C-alpha cells in the first residue's frame, strides 16, 4: 500500500510549440489501499497523468509523491504497475513468457506476487499460454496485458482503460476477479475508464477530469457496499451524479 | 499463401524459358556468329562440358561472398548496437561509414590485391565492406524503430538498457537486418567477382576474365548464367533464414 500525493501538477508537451496545456493545476490525494477511478473525455489528459505517476513523463510543473518517493524512485523500486492504453505485448514472446517477463526484468525475488498460471486463468487465457500475441484478438491481448501488469505484484496500480476492448459480460466477470485480487493484495489503484458504470462498480471514489486544459472537475465518493448491485437506486444515482459532472466539464 | 508462392515460381520459370527460346530463335534466324552472341544452347553445352571447373569456381566465389557477407553483417550490426547504446558517437561514425561507402570499389579492389595477393582474403574484405554499410544503416533504423509502447512498458519496470536491448530493440531490428542482407547478398557476389577480376587463382571472376581476354563468349556467358543462379541461391538462403528467425506476426518488410 502506498499513498499518492499530487500537487500543482501541470504538463505541456514541448514538441507542439503551441501553449496548450495537457494538464493544469491538478492536485489530489489517494489514501493507501484506496481504489480511485478517473473519468473524462477523450484527450483530457488521463493518459498523461498516469504516465507522469508511472515516472515515464517528467511533468512541466508540480510534485508527485508516491508513498513519500518521487515517481522515478517508486519506479526504480518497482512499486508501480503501469498498464499502457495499448496492450504492448512483445510479439516475439508467447503469452506466458510475456507475463513472466514482468517478473524477470529487474526482479524482486522477495515480493509476494501472483504466479503466471493463476493469472492467465484469472483473465481466461489459460489455453492460450503458448500462443503468440498475433494469434490473439484485441480483447484477448488486453487481458494478457492485464495479467502481465498484475504479475508485478506492485503496491500501486496505474491502469489506463484496461477493459476498453472487452465485451460487457467479460468486463463484469473480470471486475469480480480483479476486486478479489485487490482485496487480497490491497494495492492502491488508479483506474482510467470511459465507462461510468465500470467506475462505480469498482471504485471508492471517482475523479472527473475536465479538458483543455485537463484539470480536476469534480470528485464523487461511491459509498456503496461491495459487491455492488447495479439495480440498486443508489447505484443509478451515483452514475447520474458523475454523468452530470462530465457534462458540466465541457 | 503457399499456393501463390508456388505459382509465382512457375511464372518466373516460364518467363526465363520464354526469354531463352526467343534468344535462341533470334541467334539462329539472323545467323549471329558465336563470338558476338552465342545461342543459349551453345552456352549450355559449354557449361556441361566444363561442369567440374564451373562448379569449383562457383563454390569458391559463393564461399567468398558468404564469408564477406557474414563478416560485414557482423561488424555492421556490432557498430549499430554500439551506436544505439552510445548515441553521441553516431554522427562521427556515420560520416566515416559514408566515406567508406562512397569510395569506389573498383579503386580499392586492385589495391587490396596488390597488398594481399591473389588469395581469398582481399575478396572477403571487399564483400565485407560492401555489406557493412547497408547493414549498419538498416540496423540503426531497426534499433530505433522499436514500438514506443513496448519501450515504455519495460521502462515502467525500470528495465536496464541491456534488458531493453535484449527484449525489445534487438528483436525489433531483425526485419531490418534481413532487408539489408537481401540488398547486400547480390552485391556481395558482384563484389567477389570484381575482386577476382583484379587477380585471383580461381573463382567465377577469374573464369570470366580468362574468357574475356580470349574473346571466348560462350565461356563468358556460361559464367554469367552461373553467377545469376548463384545470386538466386544466395537470395533464397537469406529468405529462408528470415522466415525461420522472424516467426512472429505478419512480415513487415
Ligand atoms: N506525445 C505527445 N506529444 C504531444 N502532445 C500529446 C502527446 N500525448 C498526448 N498529447 C496531447 O495531450 C492531451 C492529452 O492526451 P492524453 O493522451 O493524456 O489524453 P487521454 O485523456 O488519455 O485521452 P483518451 O481518453 O483518448 O485516451 C491531448 O490533447 C493530446 O493531443
Ligand atoms: Mg488515454
What confidence score (pLDDT) does residue B35 get?
84
Q: What is the pLDDT of residues A133-172, one digit of tens each?
A: 999 988 899 999 999 999 999 999 999 999 988 888 888 8
Helix axes B121-144 and B105-116, enclosed angle (nearest 10): 130
Residue among A23, A42, A45 whose CB has most ligand 1 atoms within 8 A, to mutate: A45
pLDDT digit string, tens, across residues A2-47: 899 999 999 988 765 666 788 989 999 999 999 999 999 998 999 9
- Which residue, among A50, A58, A109, A104, has the nearest Cα to A80 in the 3D structure? A50
Q: In this complex, do A105 and B157 lie within 8 Å of one another by their Cβ atoms?
A: yes
Q: Which residues of B171-204 are buried (b: 16+ CB within 10 A; e: fewer)?
A: bbbbbbbbbbbbbbbbbbbbbbbbbbbbbbebbb
What distance separates the 2 farthest-apart alpha carbons in chain B? 76
Q: Please list every residue in chain B whose beta carbon sits closer than 8 Å to the beta carbon of residue A153.
A: none
Q: CB–CB of B223/B47 below 8 Å?
A: no
- What pLDDT, on a 0 to 100 scale, did the predictor assign at position B252? 44
Least distant ligand from the CA of A84: 2
CA of B160: which chain A residue's CA is closest? Answer: A106
Q: What spacing in Å lies between the alpha carbon of A22 and ligand 1's midpoint?
A: 7
Interface check for B10 against chain A (CB to CB < 8 A): the answer is no
The closest of A164, A100, A117, A174 to A138, measured between CA atoms, is A164
B104-139 in b/e form (b: 16+ CB < 10 A) is eeeebbeebbeeeeeebbbbbbbbbbbbbbbbbbbb
Distance of residue A91 Cα from the nearest chain B Cα, in angstroms: 6
Q: Which of B186, B29, B198, B41 is nearest to B105 (CA)?
A: B198
- A208 φ/ψ angles, rounded to the nearest 5 degrees: -105, 120
> For residue B253, is pLDDT > 50?
no
Scan residues 35-64 of A and list those with Cβ closer than 8 Å to B.
51, 54-56
The x, y and z cell numbers of residue A116, run together, are 503466471
pLDDT value of position A177: 84
* Average pLDDT of the segment spanning B95-114: 81
Alpha-carbon gap, residue A182 to A205, rounded angstroms: 15
Q: What is the 3-state secondary structure (H, E, C) of chain B?
A: CHHHHHHHHHHHHHHHHHHHHHHHHHHHHHCCCCCCCCCHHHHHHHHHHCHHHHHHHHHHHHHHHHHHHHHHHHHHHHHHHHHHHCHHHHHHHHHHHHHHHHCCHHHHHHHHHHHHCCCCHHHHHHHHHHHHHHHHHHHHHHHHCCCHHHHHHHHHCCCCHHHHHHHHHHHHHHHHHHHHHHHHHHHHHHHHHHHHHCCCCCCHHHHHHHHHHCCCHHHHHHHHHHHHHHHHHHHHHHHHHHHHHCCCCCCCC
Kindly report the backbone phi and psi dihedral angles of residue A228, in degrees, each rounded to the nearest multiple of 5, phi listed first: -90, 140
pLDDT of residue A15: 65
- Provide the pLDDT confidence category of residue A191 given band limits of 50, 70 and 90: very high
Sheet holding A23-30, edge to edge: A23-30, A4-11, A61-66
- Which of residues 95 through 154 in chain B touch A, CB cutoff 8 A? 147, 149-150, 152-154
Q: Are A220 and A208 in contact (CB under 8 A)?
A: yes
When pLDDT is averaged across residues A168-186 and rounded to a whole number, the result is: 87
Q: Which of B90, B81, B89 is nearest to B166 (CA)?
A: B81
CATH code of the domain made up of B48-245: 1.10.3720.10
Q: What is the pLDDT of residues A88-128, one digit of tens each?
A: 999 999 999 999 999 999 888 888 888 999 999 999 999 99
Contact A132 B248 (CB under 8 A): yes
Distance CA A192, CA A182 (A): 16
Residue-level pLDDT at B249: 65
C-alpha cell at A218: 469534480
The verdict on a CB contact (< 8 Å) between A134 and B248 is yes
State which H helix or E strand residue A81 sits in. Answer: strand A80-83
> Per-residue pLDDT for B251 more than 50?
no
Helices (H), chain A: 46-53, 71-76, 95-104, 116-122, 138-150, 168-185, 196-202, 233-248
Q: Is A19 on the interface with B (CB under 8 A)?
A: no
Distance, first Cα to last Cα, chain B:
16
How many CB pairs below 8 A link A and B? 56
CA dihedral A31, A36, A41, A42 (to 10 degrees): 100
Delimit the domains of chain B by residue range: 1-33, 48-245
Using the predicted structure, report yes or no on whether residue B154 has a pLDDT greater than 90: yes
pLDDT on residue A250: 66
Q: CB distance from A75 to chain B under 8 Å? A: yes
Binning pLDDT at 50, 70 and 90, where does residue B152 land? very high
pLDDT of A249 over the 80 cut: no
- Predicted-complex ipTM score: 0.91
B-chain residues near A99 (CB < 8 A): none
Neighbours of A82 (CB within 10 A): 25
Ligand 1 contacts (CB < 6 A) are A 13, 15-16, 22, 40, 42-48, 85
- DSSP state letter for A211: T
Partner-chain contact B147 A75, CB within 8 Å: no
Query: Scanning the structure block, which residue is given the C-alpha cell 502506498?
Result: A2
Using alpha carbons only, how large is chain B's radius of gyration in Å? 22
Average pLDDT over all residues of chain B: 88
Please tell me what DSSP assigns to residue A165: T
Report which secondary-structure segment, H or E, holds A206: strand A205-210
Least confidently predicted of A14-23, A159-168, B4-13, B14-23: A14-23
**pLDDT tens, residue by residue, B180-209:** 999 898 888 988 998 898 888 889 999 999
How far, in Å, CA of B209 to CA of B191, rounded? 14
Mean pLDDT check: name the lowest of A245-249, B127-131, B166-170.
Answer: A245-249
Amino acid at each position: 500500500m502506498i499513498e499518492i500525493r499530487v500537487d500543482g501538477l501541470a504538463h505541456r508537451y514541448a514538441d507542439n510549440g503551441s501553449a496548450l496545456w495537457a494538464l493544469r493545476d491538478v492536485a489530489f490525494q489517494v489514501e493507501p489501499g484506496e481504489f480511485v477511478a478517473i473519468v473524462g473525455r477523450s484527450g483530457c489528459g488521463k493518459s498523461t497523468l498516469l504516465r507522469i505517476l508511472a515516472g515515464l513523463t517528467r511533468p512541466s510543473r508540480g510534485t508527485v509523491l508516491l508513498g513519500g518517493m518521487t515517481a522515478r524512485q517508486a519506479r526504480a523500486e518497482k512499486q508501480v504497475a503501469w498498464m499502457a492504453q495499448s496492450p504492448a505485448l512483445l510479439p516475439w514472446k508467447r503469452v506466458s513468457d510475456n507475463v513472466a517477463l514482468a517478473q524477470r526484468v529487474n526482479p524482486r525475488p522477495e515480493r509476494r506476487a501472483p504466479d503466471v498460471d493463476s493469472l492467465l486463468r484469472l483473465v481466461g487465457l489459460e489455453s492460450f499460454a503458448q500462443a503468440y500475441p498475433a494469434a490473439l484478438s484485441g480483447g484477448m491481448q488486453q487481458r494478457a496485458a492485464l495479467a502481465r501488469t498484475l504479475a508485478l505484484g506492485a503496491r500501486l496500480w496505474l491502469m489506463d482503460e484496461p477493459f476498453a476492448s472487452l465485451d460487457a459480460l467479460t468486463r463484469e466477470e473480470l471486475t469480480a476477479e480483479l476486486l478479489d485480487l485487490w482485496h487480497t493484495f490491497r494495492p492502491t489503484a488508479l483506474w482510467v475508464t470511459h465507462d461510468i458504470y465500470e467506475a462505480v462498480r469498482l471504485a471508492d471514489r471517482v475523479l472527473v477530469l475536465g479538458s483543455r486544459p485537463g484539470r480536476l472537475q469534480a470528485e464523487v465518493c461511491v459509498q456503496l457496499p461491495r459487491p455492488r448491485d447495479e439495480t440498486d437506486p443508489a447505484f443509478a444515482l451515483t452514475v447520474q451524479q458523475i454523468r452530470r459532472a462530465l457534462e458540466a466539464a465541457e | 499463401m503457399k499456393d501463390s508462392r508456388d505459382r509465382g515460381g512457375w511464372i518466373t520459370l516460364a518467363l526465363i524459358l520464354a526469354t531463352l527460346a526467343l534468344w535462341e530463335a533470334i541467334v539462329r534466324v539472323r545467323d549471329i556468329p558465336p563470338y558476338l552472341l552465342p545461342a543459349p544452347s551453345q552456352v549450355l553445352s559449354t557449361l556441361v562440358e566444363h561442369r567440374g571447373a564451373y562448379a569449383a569456381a562457383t563454390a569458391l566465389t559463393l564461399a567468398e561472398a558468404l564469408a564477406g557477407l557474414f563478416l560485414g553483417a557482423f561488424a555492421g550490426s556490432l557498430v549499430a548496437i554500439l551506436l544505439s547504446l552510445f548515441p553521441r558517437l553516431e554522427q562521427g561514425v556515420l560520416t566515416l561509414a559514408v566515406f567508406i561507402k562512397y569510395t569506389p570499389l573498383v579503386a580499392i579492389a586492385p589495391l587490396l590485391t596488390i597488398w594481399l595477393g591473389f588469395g581469398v582474403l582481399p575478396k572477403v574484405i571487399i564483400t565485407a565492406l560492401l555489406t557493412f554499410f547497408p547493414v549498419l544503416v538498416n540496423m540503426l533504423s531497426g534499433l530505433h524503430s522499436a514500438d514506443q509502447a513496448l519501450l515504455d512498458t519495460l521502462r515502467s519496470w525500470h528495465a536496464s538498457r541491456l534488458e531493453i536491448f535484449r527484449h525489445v530493440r534487438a528483436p525489433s531490428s531483425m526485419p531490418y537486418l534481413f532487408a539489408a542482407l537481401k540488398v547486400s547478398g547480390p552485391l556481395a557476389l558482384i563484389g567477389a567477382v570484381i575482386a577476382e577480376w583484379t587477380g585471383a587463382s580461381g573463382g567465377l571472376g577469374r573464369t570470366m576474365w580468362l574468357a574475356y581476354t580470349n574473346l571466348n563468349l560462350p565461356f563468358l556467358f556460361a559464367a554469367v548464367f552461373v553467377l545469376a543462379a548463384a545470386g538466386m541461391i544466395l537470395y533464397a538462403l537469406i529468405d529462408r533464414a528470415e522466415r525461420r528467425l522472424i516467426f512472429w506476426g505478419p512480415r513487415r518488410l
